[in-house]
Structure 1
Amino acid sequence: MNPEASRLWRAPRWALSVMLACLGMLGPFSIDTYLPAFSGIAAALQATPVQMQQTLSAYLLGFAVMNLFHGALSDCFGRRPVVLIGLAVFTGASLGCALASSIGELVFWRTVQGMSAGAGIVVSRAIIRDMFPPSEAQRVMSQVTLFFGVAPAIAPIVGGFLFVHADWHSIFWFLTAVGGALFVSNWRLLPETLHKDLVQPFHVGTLMRGYWRLCSSPKFMMLVLASGIPFNGMFLYVLATPVFLGEHLQFAPTEFFWFFLCTIGGIMAGAWVSGRLAGKMSAKRQIMRGFRIMVAVSLLNVALNLFVPLSAWWALPLIGLFSFGWALMVPVVTLLVLDQVPERRGMASSLQACIGSAANGLVAGVLVPLVMHSTVALAVASAVLMAVGLVAWYGVRRTIPA
């Protein structure tokens, strides 16, 4: 923690929490906002389905690659410059998307958008640990987790509304406005939170040695897997929404909000409980409670899909309960990840985000197309992703102080 934190931010702490949460939601929000307009964009730009998929794949690739560097650069040049440059580039890229007249231009600007959007969530995690002691940092991290999980559910609703009442260009004009508003607010309010004694020299060799140190640390890698992979147990249902809700549950588009209501409700409740438990329960106990909930829900979900006729009455609440378990434990695991290397928290956050976004990309591009046409396959895939995180946690939990 920065010893001068109390002098850097004199406004109420909740205001800093809100600003950091907004930075954290920018990446996932810009991924999903334009999804309802896929068909409209394809028709307007005369693009094939494969070309439209490239607009998503290019974003995720840029997001994953640059996540490796945002935090590390913030260790060298400061948190504030990296955040501001990232927001400026994101705003310009969103403007480029809005003005795109061909599918090639849209793919290019979506790549730039992805490369810049990760700066907010990566650096905001490091800022939280710069500014808050452990228990308070957990409360703030819980709020950021809430926004991060809610964004993928709300974004398609906003995008669908804009597409129906205007056109697909309006979605990217909206993202331009969001990026501009965040740039102005952070320019005026965000202090530099990296203490001068922790500034790292910018040398490529030093950066590579730092990445190697983290990647070769079993404890660090296990914690990263435990925090990031279980999220996909819920996220694959979000990605498979058109098929899962439209084909399996026979929902009309106007009924999709029930799914998002359950998902958002679970994340909000889990993040709220996690914040309330900060300083009152050990990290190990809270993480295990989250995993126990996800294990029970996953097993029940597989069993019901195998032996009981599919019904929204049990399918949607189970996804909400899974989201609750994930949101309960992930703020604590994320703080453990950052505290593995207190002198390079930005780099730790970068690597964590890169691995998480790479996993999201694999799930979106490979796993979901394979399993989305079977509810049993979806349930099993969700359970397997949760199990990967659970095994990783059991591999490292004995090294975590009680």
Structure 2
Amino acid sequence: MKFPLRIKVASARGAPTLAITVMLASLSMISPLSIDTFLPSFPTIAEEFGITSWRVQQIITAYLLPFACFSLVHGPLSDALGRRRVVIGGLVLYTAGSLGCFLAPTFGTLLFCRVLQGLAAGIGPTVARAVVRDLFEGTNAQRLMSSMMLVFSLAPAVAPIIGGWVHVSLGWRWVFGMLVVIGGVLLATCLAFLPETHPREKRTPFKVRALIASCWRVGTGLAFFLLAVSAALAIAAVFIYIGSAPAIILEVWGLKETQFHYIFIPVVAGFMIASIASGRMAGHIGRVTQLRIGFGLLCFAGGVGVLVHNFIPGGSPILVVQVLWFCMALGAQLTYPVLSLEMIDMHPEARGAAASVQSFVALSVGAVVMGMVAPMLHGNLNALAWISFGGGIIAWAAWRLGVRVRGPVKTFD
């Protein structure tokens, strides 16, 4: 039997099939699973290793920083070696890193193995976006990207809930044990079914200088960089609350390890509804219109959050905060897949490099916000609201400036 086995990637009308959608979305899910699953375990990990809450938060930083840096390599590597080979190699390394986290005898070992996870986990979402553009164009590409984000959005909601129950039932190490199983299943699935979408005749030479030059050329374009900053800040406006989840849930609201759904359900509901809406909007309304709606929701909800946290006596009701998180996630998710396609479309000859540079910017911002800024705020909802609102405003301004610098293009509206 030859591998990979053939799967149908497009219907008779050229639309993406469920099989390719689920496969690519599953690869993208590795990242949020690796961030959110063990958030309920932070206090226990800190107690076991005798470290502060700020140090235990560096479990996120140790993952996101190498994730960000090596996301610059993943796309160009897939341009040079092919998508399939790079994805399978990354899954092998990710599964090994997860096993190391499960067995880690010291906090230093745990951080080292988190670095291994971070080196590899970016391959999934980065290469998956390049595969989308290898296989589909225009409306079908936007619909597949939105469908991927819909499946991808389930991970942040399910991960901390499952992680909390696994932690309570079996201990924090088995949360990483669950990641070992997930990595192994994805590895077996990709070995069996993932097609090669980047044939040899389209590959760029595997030269370090060429890879660096490709990323540099993409990343130093002012219009591309502004759009990348816009996408990163739009998502970071929501993700700063994810990084603050342990403090908000366990300290500010006084809830339990199994109640992280108080944050993740409204956020993920916003992501999912926006993904469905984005898929239906494709081909019916222009991308500019969708971006205006998304940024409008993001900035409006952020501004209302600032007012609520400053002027409601005795603090904001949990339900009000959850509604605002839902609206912010709705807005951010309406913008992100469209901006992703815009950036990749700016460099059709180097889609892998474009996807990598975009991931690098988004993950660098995410590492700073979730691993460094969030733990210093100790769940202060007022400070979080100001930072989130400011991030949304700057994201909108960067988009407008990026469009002006780039000039009009046929595919944008």
Under a length normalisation based on structure 1, what TM-score does the superposition of the two structures give?
Answer: 0.93
| Aligned: 1:233 with 2:223 | no
Instruction: Go from structure 1 to structure 2 and tell me whether the alpha carbon gap of 1:20 and 1:253 turns closer, same or farther (over 3 Å shift).
Output: same
Cα distance in structure 2, aligned partners of 1:69 and 1:32: 24
| Structure 1 equivalent of residue 214 of structure 2 | 210
Give the alignment partner of residue 344 of structure 1, picking from 350, 368, 378.
Answer: 350
Deviations 1:375-397 (A, max 9, x none): 22111100111112111111023
Give the alignment partner of residue 403 of structure 2, picking from 393, 397, 400.
Answer: 397
Cα distance in structure 2, aligned partners of 1:7 and 1:149: 24
Instruction: Go from structure 1 to structure 2 and tell me whether the alpha carbon gap of 1:202 and 1:185 turns closer, same or farther (over 3 Å shift).
Output: same
Do the aligned partners of 1:143 and 1:272 also contact (CA within 8 Å) in 2?
A: yes
| Aligned: 1:27 with 2:31 | yes
Cα distance in structure 2, aligned partners of 1:31 and 1:194: 30
Q: Give the number of aligned pairs.
A: 397
Cα distance in structure 2, aligned partners of 1:183 and 1:282: 38
| Aligned: 1:61 with 2:62 | no
Gaps of 5+ in 2: 1-5
1:371-386 equivalences under 5 Å are 371-386=377-392
More divergent stretch after superposition (324-333 vs 304-313): 304-313
Deviations 1:72-99 (A, max 9, x none): 1000000000000000111111112212
Residue 154 of structure 1, CA deviation = 2.4
| Structure 2 equivalent of residue 261 of structure 1 | 265
Under a length normalisation based on structure 2, what TM-score does the superposition of the two structures give?
Answer: 0.90
Partner SS, residue 230 of structure 1: helix
| Paired residue type of 1:387 | I
Deviations 1:283-310 (A, max 9, x none): 1111111111112112211112221231
Instruction: Go from structure 1 to structure 2 and tell me whether the alpha carbon gap of 1:32 and 1:43 turns closer, same or farther (over 3 Å shift).
Output: same
Cα distance in structure 2, aligned partners of 1:315 and 1:304: 9
Cα distance in structure 1, aligned partners of 2:268 and 2:302: 18
Partner SS, residue 101 of structure 1: coil
| Paired residue type of 1:351 | V
1:85-234 equivalences under 5 Å are 85-234=89-238
| Paired residue type of 1:368 | A
Instruction: Go from structure 1 to structure 2 and tell me whether the alpha carbon gap of 1:113 and 1:194 turns closer, same or farther (over 3 Å shift).
Output: same
| Paired residue type of 1:91 | T
Cα distance in structure 1, aligned partners of 2:376 and 2:286: 39
Deviations 1:17-42 (A, max 9, x none): 01100100101211221222223334
More divergent stretch after superposition (69-78 vs 27-36): 27-36
More divergent stretch after superposition (26-35 vs 111-120): 26-35
Instruction: Go from structure 1 to structure 2 and tell me whether the alpha carbon gap of 1:225 and 1:31 turns closer, same or farther (over 3 Å shift).
Output: same
Do the aligned partners of 1:64 and 1:355 also contact (CA within 8 Å) in 2?
A: yes
Instruction: Go from structure 1 to structure 2 and tell me whether the alpha carbon gap of 1:31 and 1:214 turns closer, same or farther (over 3 Å shift).
Output: same
Cα distance in structure 1, aligned partners of 2:251 and 2:166: 25
Cα distance in structure 1, aligned partners of 2:144 and 2:112: 35
Q: CA RMSD in A?
A: 2.1
Percent identity reads 35
Deviations 1:41-66 (A, max 9, x none): 34444555455344332212221111
| Paired residue type of 1:369 | P
Instruction: Go from structure 1 to structure 2 and tell me whether the alpha carbon gap of 1:320 and 1:207 turns closer, same or farther (over 3 Å shift).
Output: same
Gaps of 5+ in 1: 1-5
| Structure 2 equivalent of residue 324 of structure 1 | 330
